[in-house]
C-alpha cells in the first residue's frame, strides 16, 4: 500500500515513527530485532538486525575435529538437532568417502522425519501464539512434541541436544522396543493433526488474520533463494528430498504439498500437509528398517578416534531438506584432522532476507505473524 493514500485530514501533522521490535521480545522468537518505520500503523520500512546470538560456530568448527562439531550443530537450530546432525554427517561422508550402514541410514531418516513433525507442530503453535490465540494451540502442539522428544531421549540420551547421527550411520542402535513405540506414535499422529486442523484450518479468525497477509510472490521466492515450506507455499515444487534423492527418500513414496497464494495461511497449511506426508514416510520407513549394524565400521572408528580422520584435500557440500529449508554444510579439507573451512547455509537466515518485502504495507500486528510464518530459530540465523 502506498503510504500517501492513507486518508489524513490536512490539519493533522504526520510524521514517520521508528519503532524497535525486539531484540528482547518473545514475539521475535529469540533475540532478533526489527527496526520498523511506521506511518500510523503501516510499515513503510523494515530493517532486520541480526547477530545478537552470534556464537562463532563456523570459526569454532575450524579449530576442532570434524566429529567434535556435531554437538555444536545441535545448537544451531535447537528444535531440529537430529536433522542438523544429519546434514553435517552427509557432508563428512562425501568428503571422506565413508560408507553408510543400511540400518543407520533408515534410523537417521526416521529421526529426521520425526524432527520435521516436532518442528512443524511447534512452529504452528508459535504462529498461533503470535496471532493472539494465547496458549491453547501452542500447548496442544507442545503436548505432542513432548512425546517425540521422549523418543529422542530414549534413543540418544537427550531430548533436544541429541548429538546422535554420525558419519556412517547413527551413534548407537535404538534401544529394545523403540521402533514399536515410534510406530505407535506415528500411527496416532494423524489423529492429533485432525484435531489440530479442526481447531485451526477452518477457523474464521485464523483465516481473517492469515489469508492474503505477507504474500511472497513465486519469482521473489526463487530469486531470494528461499527454500523449504516457505518456498513451496509460494507454489514452487522444490524439495531436496526429491531433487537430491539422498538417504532412503527415493524408496519412499510421498508427495510434495504446494501452496497457491504464498501468504501466511498457505505457509501454515503447507506445513500441516507436510506433516501428513512425513507420517507416510515414517510409516514406510519403520516397516522397512533392516537389521544389522547401525553404523559402518569406518564411521564407528572415526567416532571413537576423531583425530585419525584425515580426509583427502578437497571440498564437499552436503545438504538436506531440513524442516526450515535447505540446510547445507560446506567443508574444505587441507588433509589435517580439522576442517580448513566450515560453512553453513542456514535456511532460517536466508528465508529471513525477504522479510521487508513481505511486511511493507501491512500493519504492525501482521509483521509479528509474518515473522512467525517464516519460521526462524535465532541459533541458526546468527550461528
CA dist., res. 190 & res. 149, Å (int): 18
158 contacts other proteins (rule: CB under 8 A): yes
Residue 226 C-beta: closest distance to other proteins, Å: 29
Q: Can residue 341 be called a binding residue for other proteins (CB under 8 A)? A: no
Instruction: Determine which residue in the list 41, 187, 195, 219 makes contact with other proteins, applying CB under 8 A.
Output: 195
Nearer to other proteins, 140 or 349 (CB): 140
| 53 forms part of the interface with other proteins (CB under 8 A) | no
Task: State in angstroms the smallest separation of the CB of 202 from other proteins.
Answer: 4
Partners of 326 in the β-ladder: 321
Contact between 135 and other proteins by CB under 8 A: the answer reads no
Evaluate whether 285 touches 252 at the Cβ level (below 8 Å): yes
Q: Which of 150, 187, 219, 334 binds other proteins (CB under 8 A)?
A: 150
Judged by CB under 8 A, the residue of 2, 5, 204, 290 near other proteins is: 204
**Closer CB to other proteins, 224 or 301, in the complex:** 301
Grid cell, residue 228, equals 523449504
Residue 10 has φ and ψ, to the nearest 5°, of -60, -25
d(CA 333, CA 61): 12
- Are the C-beta atoms of 210 and 270 separated by less than 8 Å? no
* Region from 45-53, 147-155, 310-318, 343-351 binding other proteins, contact rule CB under 8 A: 147-155
307 lies in the site for other proteins, by CB under 8 A: yes
Q: Using an 8 Å Cβ cutoff, are 237 and 220 in contact?
A: no
User: Which window, 194-202, 225-233, 276-284, 365-373, contacts other proteins (CB under 8 A)?
Assistant: 194-202
> Which of 154, 258, 261, 360 contacts other proteins by CB under 8 A?
154
DSSP-derived 3-state class of residue 219: helix
64 binds other proteins (CB under 8 A): yes
What is the widest separation between alpha-carbon atoms in the chain? 80
Q: Is 306 in the site for other proteins (CB under 8 A)?
A: yes
Helix axes 178-200, 264-288, angle to 10 degrees: 160
Q: From the CB of 131, what's the least distance to other proteins, in Å?
A: 13
Residues 69-108 that bind other proteins (CB under 8 A): 69-72, 74-75
The Cβ of residue 286 has, within 10 Å, a number of other Cβ atoms equal to: 18
Phi, psi dihedrals of residue 235, rounded to the nearest 5° = 90, 15
What is the C-alpha separation between 372 and 127, in angstroms, rounded? 5
Q: Would you state the cell numbers that stand for residue 374, as one nine-digit string?
A: 517464516
Q: Which residue's entry shows cell 523449504?
A: 228
Nearer to other proteins, 22 or 299 (CB): 299
Binding-site ranges for other proteins (CB under 8 A): 64-65, 67-72, 74-75, 136, 140, 143, 146, 150, 153-158, 161, 163, 171, 175, 195, 198-207, 303-307
Amino acid at each position: 500500500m502506498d503510504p500517501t493514500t492513507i486518508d489524513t485530514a490536512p490539519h493533522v501533522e504526520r510524521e514517520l515513527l521508528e519503532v524497535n521490535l525486539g531484540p528482547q521480545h518473545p514475539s521475535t522468537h529469540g533475540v532478533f530485532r526489527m527496526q520498523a518505520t511506521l506511518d500510523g500503523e503501516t510499515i513503510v520500512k523494515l530493517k532486520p538486525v541480526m547477530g545478537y546470538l552470534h556464537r562463532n560456530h563456523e570459526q569454532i568448527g575450524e579449530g576442532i575435529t570434524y566429529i567434535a562439531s556435531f554437538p555444536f550443530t545441535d545448537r544451531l537450530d535447537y528444535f531440529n538437532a537430529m536433522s542438523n546432525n544429519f546434514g553435517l554427517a552427509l557432508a563428512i561422508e562425501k568428503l571422506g568417502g565413508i560408507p553408510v550402514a543400511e540400518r543407520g541410514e533408515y534410523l537417521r531418516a526416521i529421526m529426521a522425519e520425526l524432527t520435521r513433525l516436532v518442528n512443524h507442530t511447534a512452529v504452528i503453535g508459535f504462529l498461533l501464539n503470535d496471532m493472539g490465540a494465547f496458549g491453547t494451540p501452542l500447548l496442544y502442539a507442545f503436548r505432542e512434541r513432548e512425546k517425540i522428544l521422549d523418543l529422542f531421549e530414549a534413543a540418544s540420551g537427550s531430548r533436544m541436544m541429541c548429538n546422535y547421527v554420525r558419519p556412517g550411520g547413527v551413534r548407537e542402535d535404538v534401544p529394545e522396543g523403540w521402533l514399536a513405540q515410534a510406530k505407535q506414535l506415528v500411527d496416532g499422529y494423524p489423529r492429533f493433526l485432525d484435531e489440530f486442523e479442526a481447531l485451526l484450518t477452518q477457523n474464521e479468525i485464523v483465516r481473517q488474520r492469515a489469508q492474503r497477509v505477507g504474500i511472497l510472490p513465486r519469482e521473489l521466492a526463487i530469486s531470494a533463494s528461499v527454500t523449504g515450506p516457505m518456498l513451496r507455499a509460494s507454489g514452487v515444487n522444490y524439495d531436496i528430498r526429491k531433487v537430491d534423492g539422498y538417504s532412503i527418500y527415493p524408496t519412499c513414496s510421498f508427495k510434495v504439498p504446494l501452496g497457491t497464494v504464498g501468504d501466511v495461511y498457505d505457509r501454515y497449511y503447507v506445513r500441516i500437509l507436510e506433516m501428513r506426508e512425513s507420517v507416510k514416510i515414517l510409516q514406510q520407513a519403520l516397516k522397512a528398517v533392516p537389521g544389522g549394524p547401525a553404523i559402518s565400521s569406518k564411521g564407528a572408528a572415526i567416532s571413537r578416534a576423531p583425530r585419525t580422520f584425515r580426509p583427502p584435500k578437497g571440498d564437499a557440500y552436503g545438504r538436506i531438506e531440513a524442516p526450515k529449508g535447505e540446510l547445507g554444510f560446506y567443508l574444505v579439507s587441507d588433509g589435517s584432522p580439522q576442517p580448513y573451512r566450515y560453512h553453513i547455509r542456514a535456511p532460517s537466515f536466508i528465508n529471513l532476507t525477504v522479510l521487508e518485502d513481505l511486511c511493507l504495507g501491512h500493519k504492525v500486528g501482521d509483521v509479528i505473524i509474518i515473522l512467525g510464518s517464516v519460521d526462524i530459530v535465532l541459533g541458526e540465523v546468527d550461528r
